[in-house]
């Protein structure tokens, strides 16, 4: 109650003029625009020289920047796709479980656990993948290779260290699981209870209700969550850089061998310390490409949400 | 009857499958926490928090320089990112939302789109961006904690802006209207009514933003660099942070490899504990507010 307003200001009720705070917050908003503009411009300036690079001065003796970029982009997409394949069924399952079955304390605990999983720094995931996943994966990979070696994905001599693209995808799957499950949980919560109650009133079991009503209605939200997770997986750097030792220019479908394609983000981190001259420009150009890909993914996600009329905004 | 039984079995199987999903999600969490704790405890001693790595090649040494670096860099990044993020959120919620001007509405749409795009920038790209800025302005060899902090700003702004916007939008409109009806000018209404009401939510937003950037490795690896020594000066010279310390201990193992591994795990444990603490605090702040209502 200390600031009863002075009569001189009383006339400004609802006034639309620019006050100092409006200007201040507006300049903050403009600063955000500037920040993103800066990212594109500076990456462009420093990345563009790589376009004229030759096998003399590009990393790994690549004949052109594209010869370097395509296999790495393939590796990024392939590893992220595998991670999505592993994480989505579990993530959506957890979301359904949390909404329909784990009410009360159990649900809260599960939510907290998923939150913590999302907060673990990526270097810790990298250490964990090397110390826990990779050694335990070796016997599994050997088994897969002997029994199912006729499938192209499992062909070739299995790695003895466990540091393969499948291991990297497993670690990535753990990292994106929280995104998939929290976004799907929100989408599933938004399904109106009139729909679920209607299904139950018609005699549907819980499984039938979820399959015929809940999942179809929540689909666009779940897809948006998957795209978000895909963007995260594509950009993930440290965990992949630590788990995977890639072979340059390799494009391969094999999951278990010790010869694996690299990913763009991990390649940048792994080669940055020794890079000099035009090699640095090449890495920056790769970064710009990665940005373009993640931008396309998030754009697609928003288009999906908008088309189906759902979404939070 | 047989159809009913089939349906019941399908339902039961489905329930079991879902419970398995829940359990399957818990396994990595337990494994990560357990591995980090059990391996990290080996070097969780006094030296770890009081010594740097200067002149140390085998066992011994600590992460004081990395802890100091993390605190300084995170503090600097927060100091730069939060005013931009909260300012943008305030403008969107308080000024742009009620506006009828087509220019302002278009600008607000653009700002929202830009925030969405920024949220999707991979952290290594933020680091490359800062590298490019440095290369263009002061020369490619420059490394500093401040450059690292600026890269983290790119990552932090969209996180804080988005949840800040949600918090501000939840301030009851009755409070706005009551203040305006009393004849309070808008700027004073925002400073004296909106911000105090939203404060607990904004604090929790800030803590979550900090926990998001405190574990970032890639951008700092590129522009803040690595060092074995203390560095208190954000503007000059390489400055190591805890995540980068973890990575470099693991990456550049000396003769006594186990000592390097132990230090990496202990730093990982300290980092993990810090992040979980920040999350807990953020939750506590919001819960306290809910209880006082």
Quote the pLDDT of residue A184: 92
Based on the fold, state whether residues B27 and B130 are members of the same structural domain.
no
Q: Tens digits of per-residue pLDDT, B141-159?
A: 888 999 999 999 999 999 9
Determine whether the interchain pair B133/A38 forms a contact, defined as Cβ–Cβ distance below 8 Å: yes
Over 70: is that where the pLDDT of A225 sits?
yes
Query: Between residues 70 and 129 of chain B, which touch chain A (CB distance below 8 Å)?
Result: 83-88, 90-92, 94-96, 107, 110-112, 114-126, 128-129
Over 70: is that where the pLDDT of A313 sits?
no
Average pLDDT of A83-99? 93
Quote the pLDDT of residue A159: 86
Over 50: is that where the pLDDT of A293 sits?
yes
> What is the three-class DSSP state of B32?
helix
Residue A128: phi and psi, rounded to 5, are: -65, -45
> What is the three-class DSSP state of B237?
strand
Distance CA A146, CA B118 (A): 46
Count of structural domains within chain A: 1
Rounded alpha-carbon distances, angstroms, from residue A140 to A135, A147, A171, A256, A267: 10, 11, 16, 10, 27
Q: Which of B135, B143, B219 is nearest to A49 (CA)?
A: B135
Contact A57, B224 (CB under 8 A): no
Based on the fold, state whether residues B11 and B138 are members of the same structural domain.
no
Range of A11-15, A290-294, B21-25 with top mean pLDDT: A290-294
- Identify the closest residue of chain A to B121 by CA–CA distance: A291
Residues of A in contact with B135 (CB under 8 A): 46, 280
Tell whether A24 is within 8 A of chain B (Cβ). Answer: yes
- Identify the closest residue of chain B to A120 by CA–CA distance: B272
Establish if A8 belongs to a structural domain. no
Most B-contacting residue of A12, A23, A121 (CB-CB within 10 A), to test interface:
A121
Q: Which residues contact A135 (CB under 8 A, 6 or more apart)?
A: A162
Residue for token pair 């009139």: A194
Based on the fold, state whether residues B111 and B15 are members of the same structural domain.
no
Q: Which of A262, A244, A241 is nearest to A252 (CA)?
A: A262
Based on the fold, state whether residues B124 and B244 are members of the same structural domain.
yes
Give CA angle at B20 (B17, B22), nearest 5°. 120
Query: Between residues 134 and 173 of chain A, which touch chain B (CB distance below 8 Å)?
Result: none
- A10 vs B209: which has the higher pLDDT: B209
Average pLDDT of A211-233? 91
Contact A268, A291 (CB under 8 A): no
Average pLDDT of B119-141? 91
Quote the pLDDT of residue A25: 92
Contact A117, A178 (CB under 8 A): yes
Quote the pLDDT of residue A110: 84
Contact A88, A177 (CB under 8 A): no
Q: Tens digits of per-residue pLDDT, B184-221?
A: 888 889 999 999 999 999 999 999 999 999 999 999 99
Instruction: Tell me the nearest-neighbour CA distance from A162 into chain B, angstroms.
Output: 17
Q: Write out the residue range of the structural domain in which residue B24 sits.
A: 2-43
Rg (CA), chain B: 24
Residues of B in contact with A231 (CB under 8 A): 120
Over 50: is that where the pLDDT of B160 sits?
yes
Q: Tens digits of per-residue pLDDT, B57-104?
A: 888 888 999 999 999 999 999 999 999 999 999 999 999 988 888 999
Quote the pLDDT of residue B290: 62
Over 50: is that where the pLDDT of B278 sits?
yes
Tell whether A18 is within 8 A of chain B (Cβ). Answer: no
Query: Between residues 241 and 270 of chain A, which touch chain B (CB distance below 8 Å)?
Result: 242, 265, 268-269
Determine whether the interchain pair B25/A298 forms a contact, defined as Cβ–Cβ distance below 8 Å: no
Establish if A182 belongs to a structural domain. yes
Determine whether the interchain pair B186/A287 forms a contact, defined as Cβ–Cβ distance below 8 Å: no
Establish if A43 belongs to a structural domain. no
Confidence of residue A89 (pLDDT cuts 50, 70, 90): very high
Please classify residue B45 by burial: count the beta carbons closer than 10 Å to its beta carbon, then call 0-12 exposed, 13-18 middle and 19+ buried. exposed
Q: Got the DSSP string for B140-192?
A: TT--BHHHHHHHHHHHHHHHHHHHHHHHHHTS-HHHHHHHHHTT--HHHHIII
Q: Which of A13, A178, A150 is nearest to A94 (CA)?
A: A178
Average pLDDT of A195-223? 89
Quote the pLDDT of residue B235: 85
Tell whether B142 is within 8 A of chain A (Cβ). Answer: no
Over 50: is that where the pLDDT of A312 sits?
no
Residues of A in contact with B170 (CB under 8 A): none
Residues of A in contact with B15 (CB under 8 A): 101, 206-207
- Count of helices and strands (H, E) across chain A: 13, 0
Quote the pLDDT of residue A9: 45
A214-218 long-range Cβ contacts below 8 angstroms, 24+ apart: A214/A96, A214/A100, A214/A188, A215/A92, A217/A191, A217/A192, A218/A184, A218/A187, A218/A188, A218/A190, A218/A191
Residues of A in contact with B279 (CB under 8 A): 115-116, 119
Based on the fold, state whether residues B34 and B156 are members of the same structural domain.
no
Residue for token pair 């998001």: B212
Establish if A75 belongs to a structural domain. no
Determine whether the interchain pair A119/B222 forms a contact, defined as Cβ–Cβ distance below 8 Å: no
Confidence of residue A160 (pLDDT cuts 50, 70, 90): confident
Query: Between residues 175 and 214 of chain A, which touch chain B (CB distance below 8 Å)?
Result: 177, 181, 205-208, 210
Based on the fold, state whether residues B115 and B37 are members of the same structural domain.
no
Average pLDDT of B34-60? 89
Establish if A235 belongs to a structural domain. yes
Over 90: is that where the pLDDT of B19 sits?
no
- Identify the closest residue of chain A to B215 by CA–CA distance: A121
% of chain A at pLDDT higher than 90: 48
Over 80: is that where the pLDDT of B228 sits?
yes
Based on the fold, state whether residues B73 and B207 are members of the same structural domain.
yes
Average pLDDT of A94-99? 90
- A16 vs A125: which has the higher pLDDT: A125
Average pLDDT for chain B? 90
Q: Tens digits of per-residue pLDDT, A47-75?
A: 999 888 888 888 887 888 898 999 999 99
CATH number at residue B207: 1.10.3720.10
Contact B260, B63 (CB under 8 A): no
What is the ipTM score, two decimals? 0.91
Quote the pLDDT of residue A309: 55
Residues of A in contact with B11 (CB under 8 A): 205-208
Based on the fold, state whether residues B81 and B24 are members of the same structural domain.
no
Most A-contacting residue of B120, B260, B265, B279 (CB-CB within 10 A), to test interface:
B120
Quote the pLDDT of residue B289: 65
Tokens representing residue B230 in the block: 């203390």
Q: Write out the residue range of the structural domain in which residue A258 sits.
A: 81-307
% of chain A at pLDDT higher than 70: 92
Tokens representing residue B49 in the block: 């928090």
Establish if A16 belongs to a structural domain. no
Residue B254 CB neighbour total at 10 angstroms: 12
Contact B151, B130 (CB under 8 A): yes
Give CA angle at B233 (B227, B238), nearest 5°. 25
Count of structural domains within chain B: 2
Quote the pLDDT of residue A277: 85
Tell whether B284 is within 8 A of chain A (Cβ). Answer: no
- Identify the closest residue of chain B to A44 by CA–CA distance: B132
Query: Between residues 92 and 121 of chain A, which touch chain B (CB distance below 8 Å)?
Result: 93-94, 96-98, 101-102, 110, 113-117, 119-121
Based on the fold, state whether residues B113 and B214 are members of the same structural domain.
yes
Determine whether the interchain pair B94/A25 forms a contact, defined as Cβ–Cβ distance below 8 Å: yes
Establish if A163 belongs to a structural domain. yes
Establish if A6 belongs to a structural domain. no
Instruction: Name beta bridge partners: B144.
Output: B237
Average pLDDT of A83-101? 92
Instruction: Tell me the nearest-neighbour CA distance from B132 into chain A, angstroms.
Output: 6
CATH number at residue A118: 1.10.3720.10
> What is the three-class DSSP state of A162?
coil
Based on the fold, state whether residues B116 and B222 are members of the same structural domain.
yes
Based on the fold, state whether residues B170 and B30 are members of the same structural domain.
no
Distance CA A57, CA A281 (A): 10
Tell whether A90 is within 8 A of chain B (Cβ). Answer: yes
Name the packing angle between helices A264-271 and A215-235 (round to 10°).
Answer: 20
Contact A164, A142 (CB under 8 A): no
Quote the pLDDT of residue A11: 42
């Amino acid at each position: 109650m200390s600031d009863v307003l002075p009569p001189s200001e009383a006339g400004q009720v609802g006034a639309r003029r620019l006050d100092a705070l409006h200007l201040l917050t507006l300049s903050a908003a403009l600063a955000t625009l500037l920040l993103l503009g800066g990212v594109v411009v500076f990456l462009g300036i420093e990345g563009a020289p790589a376009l004229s690079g030759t096998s003399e001065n590009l990393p790994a003796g690549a004949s052109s920047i594209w010869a370097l970029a395509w296999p790495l982009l393939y590796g990024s997409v392939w590893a992220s796709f595998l991670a999505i394949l592993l994480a989505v069924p579990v993530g959506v399952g957890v979301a359904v479980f949390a909404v329909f079955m784990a009410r009360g304390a159990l649900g809260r605990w599960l939510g907290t656990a998923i939150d913590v999983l999302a907060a673990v720094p990526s270097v810790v995931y990298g250490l964990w993948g090397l110390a826990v996943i990779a050694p335990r994966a070796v016997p599994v990979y050997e088994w897969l290779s002997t029994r199912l070696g006729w499938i192209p994905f499992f062909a070739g001599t299995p790695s003895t260290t466990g540091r393969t693209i499948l291991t990297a995808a497993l670690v990535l799957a753990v990292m994106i699981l929280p995104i998939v499950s929290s976004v799907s949980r929100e989408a599933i919560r938004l399904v109106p209870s009139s729909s679920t109650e209607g299904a139950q009133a018609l005699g549907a079991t819980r499984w039938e209700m979820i399959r015929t009503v809940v999942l179809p209605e929540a689909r666009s939200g779940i897809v948006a969550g998957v795209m978000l997770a895909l963007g995260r997986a594509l950009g993930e750097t440290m965990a992949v850089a630590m788990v995977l030792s890639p072979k340059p220019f390799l494009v391969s479908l094999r999951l278990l061998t010790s010869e694996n394609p690299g990913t763009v983000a991990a390649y940048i981190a792994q080669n940055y310390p020794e890079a000099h001259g035009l090699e640095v420009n090449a890495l920056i150009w790769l970064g710009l490409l990665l940005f373009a890909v993640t931008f396309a993914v998030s754009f697609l996600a928003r288009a999906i949400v908008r088309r189906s009329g759902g979404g939070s905004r | 009857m047989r159809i009913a039984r089939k349906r019941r079995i399908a339902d039961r199987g489905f329930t079991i499958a879902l419970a398995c999903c829940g359990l399957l999600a818990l396994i990595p969490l337990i494994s990560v926490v357990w591995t980090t704790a059990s391996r990290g405890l080996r070097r969780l001693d006094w030296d770890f928090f009081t010594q740097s790595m200067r002149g140390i090649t085998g066992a011994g040494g600590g992460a004081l320089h990395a802890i100091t670096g993390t605190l300084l860099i995170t503090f600097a990044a927060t100091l730069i990112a939060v005013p931009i993020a909260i300012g943008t959120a305030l403008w969107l919620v308080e000024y742009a939302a009620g506006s009828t001007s087509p220019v302002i509405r278009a600008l607000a749409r653009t700002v929202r789109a830009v925030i969405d795009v920024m949220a999707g920038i991979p952290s290594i790209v933020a680091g490359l961006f800062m590298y490019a800025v440095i290369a263009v302005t002061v020369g490619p060899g420059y490394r500093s904690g401040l450059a690292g902090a600026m890269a983290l700003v790119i990552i932090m702004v969209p996180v804080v802006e988005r949840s800040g916007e949600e918090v501000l939008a939840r301030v009851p409109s009755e409070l706005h209207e009551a203040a305006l009806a009393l004849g309070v000018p808008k700027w004073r209404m925002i400073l004296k009514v909106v911000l105090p009401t939203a404060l607990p939510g904004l604090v929790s937003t800030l803590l979550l933003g900090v926990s998001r950037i405190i574990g970032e490795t890639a951008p700092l690896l590129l522009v803040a660099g690595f060092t074995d020594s203390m560095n208190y000066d954000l503007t000059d010279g390489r400055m190591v942070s805890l995540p980068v310390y973890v990575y470099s201990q693991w990456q550049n193992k000396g003769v006594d490899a186990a000592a390097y591994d132990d230090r990496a795990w202990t730093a990982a444990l300290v980092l993990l504990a810090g992040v979980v603490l920040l999350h807990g605090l953020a939750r506590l702040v919001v819960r306290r507010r809910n209880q006082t209502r």
